Amino acid sequence: LLADPGPDELLLSAPTPLPTPPVAGQPTPALAREPTPPALPPGPPPWAKCAAFGVALGVGWAVAWLFWSSVR
């Protein structure tokens, strides 16, 4: 019975030191912050397609108007 509590105490004592190094070593929050910026560039913003469509529509209208005014 005394041998069993020994490993259990070691397992319980092991988690306690683990939380302390992340708190002392602040690189873990920095590592957590790093993945967030890379996540933004791969996926374009939701309004990118709408903006591209609007720009293309405006350019198309401008070209059509210039062509129509020159033909007139």
Give one word for 44, left, alpha or beta, with left for phi > 0 and alpha for psi -120 to 50. Answer: beta
Domain containing 59 equals 45-72
Q: Clarify whether residues 3 and 36 are in a common domain.
A: yes
Which residue intervals of 20-47 are DSSP H helices? 20-24, 27-33, 36-39
Question: Per-residue confidence at 42, pLDDT binned at 50, 70, 90?
Answer: low
Quick one: tokens of 34?
């790093």
Task: Identify the residue with better confidence: 24 or 59.
Answer: 59
For position 28, what pLDDT does the model report?
A: 52
- Report how far apart, in Å, the C-alpha atoms of 34 and of each of 27, 29, 37, 46 are: 10, 9, 6, 22
pTM over 0.75: no
Q: Clarify whether residues 35 and 51 are in a common domain.
A: no
Q: Clarify whether residues 20 and 34 are in a common domain.
A: yes
Q: Clarify whether residues 23 and 51 are in a common domain.
A: no
Q: Return mean pLDDT, the chain.
A: 69
Name the percent of the chain lying above pLDDT 70.
Answer: 42
**Domain count within the chain:** 2
Give the span between the Cα atoms of 49 and 58, in whole angstroms: 14
What average pLDDT does range 32-38 have in this prediction? Answer: 51
Name the percent of the chain lying above pLDDT 90.
Answer: 28
